[in-house]
Amino acid sequence: MSVLRLVSVVGARPQFVKLAPIVRVAGQRGDVDHRILHTGQHYDSAMSDVFFEDLKMPAPDADLGIGSGSHGEQTAAMLVALEKTFSGERPDAVLVYGDTNSTLAATLAATKIHVPVAHIEAGLRSFNRKMPEEINRLVADHCSDRLYAPTPVAVANLEDENLGERTVRSGDVMRDAVNFNIEQARRSSTILDDLALEQAAFSLVTVHRPANTDGANLELLLDRLEESSRRHLPMVFPVHPRTRAMLEKMGYQPPPTLRLTEPMPYLDNLQLLDNARYVVTDSGGVQKEAAFLETPCFTARNETEWTETLDIGVNRIVHDGASGLLAAIEEFMVSPVEFGADVHRQIDESYGRGDAANRIVDDCVEWLS
Ligand code: UD1
């Protein structure tokens, strides 16, 4: 039996979560040799190692140790190192995930030397080209040979760009990850006790997008979060390193109702999301995890790639520095979102039921042989 050699390239926190279901499924097969290559984009233990531990993944087979830099510096350093690795190893295919600079670099490095590329979480669009992630997605989708689209909306976006023939609707690997890990999180996470939190008596907030953290926007956003944490429910705010750097520069002192913490490990984050009354976020992944865990979401951005969550009614956009946040939360307090059977059906129809990794690995084997 011939063995298919697949290399997954990851580098940033959300990619470790998307990788885990693929590692598990590929590891159960005798016909796939799956390796993990870490670019080193996220290097802090709390942003990287902890995720490999929580998600029970083996350490990466290789770590390029690239680290931070401007977009050009970071991507260029990755390109040089990845081209060398792929030229030496010549895997049967490279798997890339999501929309980070690691995704962009791996896609370009592999396609240029004719190593096939499969893009997991293809077809997402914010239609906002000011986001670095949007550029990364466009390049990754147009250069990849196989496109695993998580939702019908993603499939339609790819068809609109004449990429339908390479597209496979796979469902969302983040759903696989939540389904597989939520019971473990409920059993083993001590984060509620550690932070003295009671179920549904707090809200959660995460902020890391440049549009929110850079410039005057962060001050505006913090004002609204502070006000909400006083008027509505106290907030727990695990702080991303980019945001932490900005807060330190400002000399920010939060009020007691807005509790800043280190970035959360995966299982603790699931436990917080599962128990929060609602979440305020600018993360893509958290919007979906919230929907899967029946937690209403307020998205502090001007648009979202995950438009299904808006249509289903479990997510609301609060524009420009969360300008409508206070009013949106007050409205929600009066008539909360019901996670009834109809909502569950729509979530399943959009994101699948948690078998995306199986579909992807099965399809890879068929496609490449
Ligand atoms: C990246 C992705 C984004 C993803 C996010 C999740 C791109 C363009 N963006 O953004 O799509 O949603 O990851 O977190 O790839 N830093 C540390 N320690 C770390 C990692 C980063 O201190 O372990 C600091 C660095 O100083 C850096 C800043 O955080 O300047 C931002 O890191 P970077 O990798 O540039 O992008 P993210 O903002 O994390």
Catalytic residues: 208
Alpha-carbon distances of 301 from 126, 202, 282, 304, 321, rounded to whole Å: 10, 22, 6, 7, 7
Query: Can you give the pLDDT at residue 216?
Result: 86
Q: Which atom of ligand 1 sits closest to the CA of residue 101?
A: 15
pLDDT of residue 144: 98
CA 139 – CA 273 distance, rounded (Å):
32
Out of 51, 68, 70, 208, mutate this one to test ligand 1's pocket (max ligand atoms within 8 Å of CB): namely 68
pTM of the model: 0.97
CA of 220 to the centre of ligand 1 (A): 22
Identify the residue whose tokens are 């290789």. Answer: 62
Cβ count within 10 A of residue 298: 23
Tell me the Ramachandran region of residue 338: left when phi exceeds 0, alpha when psi lies from -120 to 50, beta otherwise.
Answer: beta
Residue ranges of the chain with per-residue pLDDT less than 70: none
Task: Check residue 320 and give its pLDDT.
Answer: 83
Nearest-angstrom CA–CA distance, 140 and 107: 6
Smallest CA-to-CA distance from 186 within 274, 292, 264 is with: 274
Helix orientation angle between 284-292 and 173-188, rounded to the nearest 10 degrees: 70
Query: Which amino acids bring their CB within 6 angstroms of ligand 1?
Result: 12-14, 41-44, 47, 68, 99-101, 132-133, 208, 240-242
Instruction: State in Å: Cα 28 to ligand 1 middle.
Output: 32
Distance 209 CA to ligand 1 centre (A): 9
| pLDDT over 90, % of the chain | 97
